[in-house]
Amino acid sequence: MTFLQLLHKRRNPLSRFTTLSIALFAIALPVAILTPTLSFAATTQSNVAGDQMLILDDHIDSSLTADPIEEFISVHDDTSYVGQEDLWARIRNGFSMPDIDSEYTAKHENWYASRPDYVKRMLERSQKYLFHIVEEVEKRGMPTEIALLPMIESAYNPQAYSRSHASGIWQFVPATGKDYGLKQNYWTDKRRDVTAATNAALNYLQKLHGMFGSWDLALAAYNAGEGTIARAIERNRKQGLPTDYQHLQLPAETKNYVPKLQAIKNIVFKPDDFGLSLVDIPNRPYFTRVLAPKQIDAKLAAELAEVSFEEFSALNPSYNRPVIVSNSEVHQLLLPIWAAEKFKENLANYDKPLTSWKTYSAKRGERIDYIAKKFNIEVSQLREVNNLSSRKNIASSRPLLVPANIDDNSPLVQTSIDYDASLAETHANVENEPNKTKTIRYKVKRGDTISSLANKFDVEKSHLLNFNGIRAGNLKAGQIIKVVTSNTKFYPTSKSNKRISTHQQRKKYSTKSSRYEKNKSKKSSSSSHRRSRISSKIR
């Protein structure tokens, strides 16, 4: 069978031609449309109230077919520009933000120009995602500079993860991610889902643009929070000063944020001026969506698609476990376009179990070495699969992923655990006592400090700061903070965490701004979604 392939063509602007020329061109232009179908080779059983029991049959039912693949593929109407086979040319044509020529811009230009290997790695990572993001940006009528923003947010690394718990190429912190529909639980973190996070980020940026009326201010708010920008504008307005981006008093990082994007823009526009070269990126889709079983080992999915596990993980980075579990009626994976048909064919012919893992809830008093022996797995591997460092103990309230016996038909259980980075660090010592946690919403009173609240609730100060994304001196009376109380201590994030792949970490601070969004007239913009993100200097 031939592999799946899409043919895309778009007309180039023809303003220089006469009306007759346009008509002749339109008649002569052939358009090819390919519309294959995709079978969904899996059956499922109904959900049970509470935990959803998701059971995947080992036998493939070839009679189950999906709707035409156009509904599940990255369809881009007339995507290719005539004479613009290179995606960079298309991006340059869409530049529309005013240029910022400043000492900040020059500083970042020099930084990138002096690190050609870093720039090359960043651009190579972007090859898989950039076409999709450019498409989404153009559909919304946004400047194509926005498609370059992940370069300064995460260096286009979908696994980028900061000590402030910001994650993915767009670097959403947990709270903002949830606000924009990015689910985070035991099985998946949609902040790392390239398509979902892109949609969320563009929604957020459009909202900010609507609030502030310019893209540079929208970007500044994306970096520092809308409350910070609103206060800076109000401060200048009261003093009779200009309220544009370059005249506002902003945090140093935010002052550098838009110039850093300007530096990337300048490099893309004329790379030769900086002694750099751009990685070739064709002006066509790299990946497509395919239907998949509700449960399947990630490595098996890669094998069925005949792609490397690294390639599969780069396109499906949101999964936290070696087995992919979904409770959706239609589950989709991203694959290179050339691998989609192979995956479909190989899945239909595969007659062995699709999963080799199951969930296990530790009983009170069970030690991790006992569990490892019970399921014939090394302790180190059990810890790695479940993201447990050697310092952390298992919690009776948290499921463990363990190998499934060949004759064991126990189903995987889709839990509803909120996979919050701070909560994930609180593993109770079940040998001593059961783990009991609860989340408290506390309204800050006048005179409260981080130290006094840490003592009040018997938690570490670092937990309060990281969990709420705030600074020690930033508490305000009336502010709502969340506190997770437990009979265990909160451990700080390990600096050796393998998912933190950074040259330089940075922090920003996040607070709620729902009142500011819902009722601007009440001037409660002091609350804001300040977002904590990672430095762009990711190697």
Q: Where are the domains of the chain?
A: 1-37+70-354+495-539
Q: DSSP readout, 281-346?
A: -BSS--EEEEEE-SEEEHHHHHHHHT--HHHHHHHSTTB-SSEEE--SSSEEEEEEHHHHHHHHHH
Tell me if 224 sits within 8 A of 251, measured CB to CB: yes
Cβ density class 285-296: b for 16+ within 10 Å, e for less:
bbbbbbbbbbbb
* 3-state DSSP of 408-447: CCCCEEECCCECCHHHHCCCCCCCCCCCCEEEEEEECCCC
The predicted structure's pLDDT at residue 394 = 65
Separation of alpha carbons 215 and 99, rounded Å: 11
* Max Cα–Cα distance, the chain, nearest Å: 85
Separation of alpha carbons 364 and 212, rounded Å: 54
pLDDT digits (tens, 9 = 90+) for 75-122: 333 444 444 689 999 999 999 999 999 999 999 999 999 999 999 999
291: Cβ contacts below 8 Å, ≥ 6 apart = 38, 39, 40, 66, 72, 330, 331, 332
Element holding 39 (H helix, E strand): strand 37-39
The predicted structure's pLDDT at residue 129 = 98
Separation of alpha carbons 470 and 466, rounded Å: 7
The predicted structure's pLDDT at residue 3 = 35
**One-letter amino acid of 262:** Q
| Domain 1-37+70-354+495-539, architecture per CATH | Orthogonal Bundle (1.10)
Tell me if 41 sits within 8 A of 347, measured CB to CB: yes
Tell me if 462 sits within 8 A of 484, measured CB to CB: no
Separation of alpha carbons 197 and 181, rounded Å: 9
- Residue for token digits 């996979």? 419
Q: Residue 32 in 3-state DSSP?
A: coil
- Tokens read off for 405: 């016996």
Closest CA to 481 of 471, 491, 467, 492: 467
421 CB burial (10 A radius; 0-12, 13-18, 19+): buried
Separation of alpha carbons 155 and 169, rounded Å: 7
Q: Judge whether 384 counts as a catalytic residue.
A: no
Q: How far, rounded to the nearest angstrom, does the alpha carbon of residue 325 sit from its chain's CA centroid?
A: 18
Closest CA to 282 of 6, 75, 514, 89: 89
Q: Could you say which residues of the chain have pLDDT below 70?
A: 1-84, 329-330, 389-398, 405-439, 458, 460, 462-463, 466-467, 469, 471-473, 484-539
| DSSP letter assigned to residue 70 | G
297: Cβ contacts below 8 Å, ≥ 6 apart = 322, 323, 324, 354, 355, 356, 357
Q: What is the pTM of this model?
A: 0.62
Cβ density class 165-184: b for 16+ within 10 Å, e for less:
bbbbbbbbbbbbbbbbebbb
- Tokens read off for 154: 């995460």
Q: Which of 136, 153, 226, 425 is catalytic?
A: 153
The predicted structure's pLDDT at residue 458 = 67
**One-letter amino acid of 93:** N
42: Cβ contacts below 8 Å, ≥ 6 apart = 56, 57, 60, 61, 64, 292, 293, 294, 354
The predicted structure's pLDDT at residue 95 = 98
Closest CA to 100 of 315, 210, 211, 258: 258
- Residue for token digits 């935990």? 51
At residue 426's C-alpha, the angle toward residues 420 and 430, to 5°, is 135
The predicted structure's pLDDT at residue 480 = 85
